[in-house]
Amino acid sequence: MKLLSCLLVGTVLVIRSADAFVGLKRRNVFHSGFHSAARRACRMSGVAPFHELLSPPAGEGLRFVFVGGKGGVGKTSCSSAIAVTLADAGLRTLVVSVDPAHSLGDVLATDLPRGSNNAVPIFGCDDNLYAMEIDAEASLKEFTDAIAGFDLAAVAKEIGGQAGADFASNLGLDEFAGILRNPPPGVDELVALNAVVRLARGTDASGMQSFDRVIIDTAPTGHALRLLSAPEFLEDFLDKLLSFRSKLDSVLGLATTMLGLNAGALTAKLDAAVIAADNYRTQIKSLRDLLTDPTATQFVVVAGPTALAVAETERLVSSLEDSGVTTRSLIVNKVLGANTNEKFTDQLKKGQTSAMERVDSRLSKKVDVTSVPFFDTELVGTYALRYMAQNAFEPTAQGSSWDTLAHGDSGDQRLVLVGGKGGVGKTSTSAALGVFCADAGQDTIVVSTDPAHSLGDALGLKLVPGEVTPISDAALSGEGSLYALEVDVDSSVAEFQSLVKDAIQSAEAGSQDSFLGQQLGQLNLGDLTSVLDTPPPGVDELVALAKVLALLRDDSKTRFSRIILDTAPTGHTLRLLTLPSFLGDLLDRVMALKSRLQGFFKSSSGTEPARDRLRDLQVQMFELEDILRDENRCEFVVVTIATEVALAETERLVESLISEEVAVGNVVVNQLLDTTTTDAYLERIVRGQDVCLGRLEKIAQDNDLVLTSMPWLDVEARSVYGLRAFGQMLMSPREL
């Protein structure tokens, strides 16, 4: 492959070929609607996307590439294809998935062992390509083990037996240790990413750098952004721990005086933890610097030619710029060529038919399966969503689960969680289901808990975060009502921060009334709550769940009989189900610590309200946990598409939900091609894509990005060989 020596930034590079993958041959059909100036620039320069990544590694050091975007646009395929191409160029390359719902092994057609943070060599790339799906749980254990010395309750018991344990308990250190041993959701992904960076920066047996390039396949937009902001939280958390150490000398002296404990042994354990925490803090600071270093890191945004994907892409590019993360490339995937014909769709149908056979054999015996066609235009707005609902939900037989949901007793509240792999149509399905229930007479609200909201985009409305927005009655055909809500992440997190901090600090507002109280006042455990000034990842979804429960408990005139929850993609949806239990236990420890503090301090006038608010939130979490596992009040609708990669993830999701005792009511198989697909049908899809491509072109020009357009392949790009062909199209220099 001959590579040219320039990277032209700010131009548009387009390949439009519907049948590009048939027989691993490709032909280029260029659309005449793009700017002639951009075409001339590409013709003169022979633009090679990602050319700088293919440069010889000598003297330039390790390079990291994060690949992200809206779910379902092909992030994992693009990540893998880039990695294969770099490996073929002789660069030792590691491709890593940090998405909790891994599909990297599915795309590479390689069994990547779960529960192991070891890189696996991928056959067919001359020992230059390695892959791993990070085990966040194992990385988190390594982190908590490293700071275990701050668990003074365990250390005191180990050294002083029951007397030491009682001493620690009297000071409230056991409750503090419980909080320390259970860091919030999202921290696990960060420490796992840190482990990947350590691995990549290591050396092999000969002393050579382990890898030249690291490609990181991220979770969908909202959670990818949260991961990029997480270093600030963890660095602040470790700062607070190290500051806490300086206040412990008086307590250690007290332990020696009162109990005869070996203060030297206590100090040695604590100092070892300090060294480990300081080492972690240095690593996390280095990771934070790495993410914003344009010479070492870049973010590649992947989009699809749909209105919802374009809107989310615009927000993602803006957020990355605000975060100081370098973005040079924008890939728009699954683009149909103007000459697309029925041969292309015939090939797609063959793949879908095979996938539906898998659905029938593996899923239909466990859950109801609903098939939804691939519409030749994007369905946005209430009227279009009604059309989707009529095709998806109405044809089912009377007495089906859809019929029961829509026409059942409105006095029986139902919570419906809609989830699945990114990009399969969860938001559209949620919104269409909301219209369906409202038309049937139900008072319905659709709520988005995904940090990267697109509910307003699907409804064709500008939703104000945190505000319940009514949908015009004129757009509904029944006696019900329809509302929409995108949870306001910032205000919800601020509310949570204030609640927990007030609960602890109010207990310390009085004066000390005992010797132990004076020692505890010097220790100032409540100061550790200031770590919440930088909210931990996952708090947004925690508080979003509390908002959902408030809707379930609402007894006002606007009480909703149907609550449709549009959730984040698979991995974070599964985490969402564990959050009520996590938050309930966390608040239990916080309140125990608060009670302990109040035993040493005189109560202040503000103590009771703070305690009551905290207890009420805890009760809400335990109540919500019960609702999620009550099949009479809650069900989960899984949305998927008929591809091997999507179905593999769907099967894992269904099994996980069943093991979590969450009722799975339906699997919706979306985007199925009709047997009578015509050329006119395809032309309408192409016209819709053209509009979106124009918007993506503007985003690229406004943000100085190279826009690379990739064809919609008529078979899935899987295994090294399929990904190699995909990568050659993605990364080769081309002329228009």
Band (pLDDT 50/70/90 cuts) for residue 130 is: very high
List the structure tokens of 210.
């382990």
Helices (H) and strands (E) in the chain, counts: 24, 17
Q: Is 294 a residue whose pLDDT tops 80? A: yes
Q: Which of 99, 135, 188, 714 is catalytic?
A: 99
- Is the distance from CB of 372 to CB of 672 less than 8 angstroms? yes
More confident residue, 332 or 263: 332
Mean pLDDT of all residues in 578-592: 62
- Is the distance from CB of 545 to CB of 73 less than 8 angstroms? no
- Is the distance from CB of 643 to CB of 351 less than 8 angstroms? yes
Structure confidence by residue, pLDDT tens digits, 486-498: 877 667 667 766 7
Q: What pLDDT is stored for residue 502 in this prediction?
A: 67
Sequence-ordered strand ranges (E) for 201-338: 213-217, 297-303, 327-335
Q: Is 180 a residue whose pLDDT tops 80? A: no
Q: Give the Cβ contact number of residue 466 at 10 Å.
A: 14
Q: Is 527 a residue whose pLDDT tops 70? A: no
Band (pLDDT 50/70/90 cuts) for residue 506 is: low
Sequence-ordered strand ranges (E) for 272-339: 297-303, 327-335
**CA–CA dist 58, 569 (Å, integer):** 39
The mean predicted confidence, pLDDT, of the chain is 70
630: Cβ–Cβ under 8 A, 6 or more apart, which residues?
none
Q: Is 374 a residue whose pLDDT tops 70? A: yes
Query: What burial letters (b/e) apply to 188-212, b meaning 16+ CB within 10 Å?
Result: bbbbbbbbbbebbeeeeeeeeebbb
Band (pLDDT 50/70/90 cuts) for residue 710 is: confident
Q: Is 395 a residue whose pLDDT tops 50? A: yes
Query: Biggest alpha carbon distance in the chain?
Result: 88
Mean pLDDT of all residues in 178-207: 67
Q: What pLDDT is stored for residue 676 in this prediction?
A: 64
Kindly list the distances between the CA atom of residue 336 and the CA atoms of 100, 243, 536, 711, in Å, as whole numbers in the listed order.
31, 58, 41, 6
420: Cβ–Cβ under 8 A, 6 or more apart, which residues?
426, 569, 570, 638, 639, 640, 646, 649, 650, 653
**What are the residues facing 368 on neighbouring strands?**
666
Among 15-24, 130-139, 421-430, 658-667, which is the least confidently predicted range?
A: 15-24
Question: What share of the chain has pLDDT > 90, as a percent?
Answer: 1
Q: What is the CA radius of gyration of the chain?
A: 27
Residue from 129, 142, 245 nearest 191 by CA = 142
3 state SS of 215: strand
Burial class, 411, CB count within 10 angstroms (exposed 0-12 / middle 13-18 / buried 19+): exposed
Q: What pLDDT is stored for residue 514 in this prediction?
A: 46
Q: What pLDDT is stored for residue 304 in this prediction?
A: 80
223 φ/ψ angles, rounded to the nearest 5 degrees: -80, -25
**Most confident among 335-344, 503-512, 625-634 (mean pLDDT):** 625-634
Structure confidence by residue, pLDDT tens digits, 215-247: 988 866 655 666 666 677 777 777 777 766 666
Band (pLDDT 50/70/90 cuts) for residue 619 is: confident
Kindly list the distances between the CA atom of residue 357 and the CA atoms of 140, 354, 419, 664, in Å, as whole numbers in the listed order.
39, 5, 22, 20
450 carries an active-site annotation: yes
**CA–CA dist 586, 531 (Å, integer):** 15
Band (pLDDT 50/70/90 cuts) for residue 445 is: very high
The CB-based long-range contact list for 622-631 (8 Å cut-off, 24+ gap) reads: 622/580, 622/584, 623/549, 624/545, 624/546, 624/548, 624/549, 624/552, 624/580, 625/580, 625/581, 625/584, 627/415, 627/549, 627/552, 628/415, 628/417, 628/577, 628/580, 628/662, 629/660, 629/661, 629/662, 631/663
Mean pLDDT of all residues in 365-392: 79
Sequence-ordered strand ranges (E) for 493-604: 562-566
Angle at which helices 570-600 and 607-628 pack, to 10 degrees? 150
The identity of residue 412, as a single letter, is: D
**CA–CA dist 286, 230 (Å, integer):** 13
Among 113-122, 307-316, 508-517, which is the least confidently predicted range?
A: 508-517
- Is the distance from CB of 367 to CB of 638 less than 8 angstroms? yes
List the structure tokens of 650.
């769907």
Q: Is 522 a residue whose pLDDT tops 60? A: no
Band (pLDDT 50/70/90 cuts) for residue 28 is: very low
Band (pLDDT 50/70/90 cuts) for residue 543 is: low
Q: What pTM was estimated for this model as a whole? A: 0.68
Structure confidence by residue, pLDDT tens digits, 664-689: 878 888 887 776 666 777 777 778 77
Sequence-ordered strand ranges (E) for 21-126: 63-69, 93-97, 120-121
**CA–CA dist 494, 578 (Å, integer):** 22
Place of tokens 């770099």: 86
Band (pLDDT 50/70/90 cuts) for residue 695 is: confident
Helix H or strand E encompassing 645? helix 644-659
Helix spans in 340-381 (H): 342-362
Band (pLDDT 50/70/90 cuts) for residue 207 is: low
**CA–CA dist 649, 101 (Å, integer):** 7
Q: What pLDDT is stored for residue 166 in this prediction?
A: 63
Query: What burial letters (b/e) apply to 553-575, b meaning 16+ CB within 10 Å?
Result: eeeeeeebbbbbbbbbbbbbbbb
**CA–CA dist 217, 75 (Å, integer):** 7
Q: Which of 151, 450, 457, 540 is catalytic?
A: 450
**CA–CA dist 324, 127 (Å, integer):** 34
Q: What pLDDT is stored for residue 137 in this prediction?
A: 72
Residue from 381, 212, 383, 216 nearest 287 by CA = 216
Among 154-158, 215-219, 658-662, 705-709, which is the least confidently predicted range?
A: 154-158
More confident residue, 569 or 478: 478
**CA–CA dist 637, 570 (Å, integer):** 12
Among 40-54, 259-273, 704-718, which is the least confidently predicted range?
A: 40-54
Q: What pLDDT is stored for residue 171 in this prediction?
A: 54
Q: What pLDDT is stored for residue 94 in this prediction?
A: 92
| Structural domains of the chain ordered from first start | 57-140+185-336+692-729 (3.40.50.300), 342-491+535-596+605-677 (3.40.50.300)
Kindly list the distances between the CA atom of residue 549 and the CA atoms of 415, 499, 538, 568, in Å, as whole numbers in the listed order.
10, 17, 17, 18
502 carries an active-site annotation: no
Band (pLDDT 50/70/90 cuts) for residue 582 is: low
Place of tokens 């909202």: 222
**CA–CA dist 73, 334 (Å, integer):** 8
**CA–CA dist 553, 569 (Å, integer):** 26
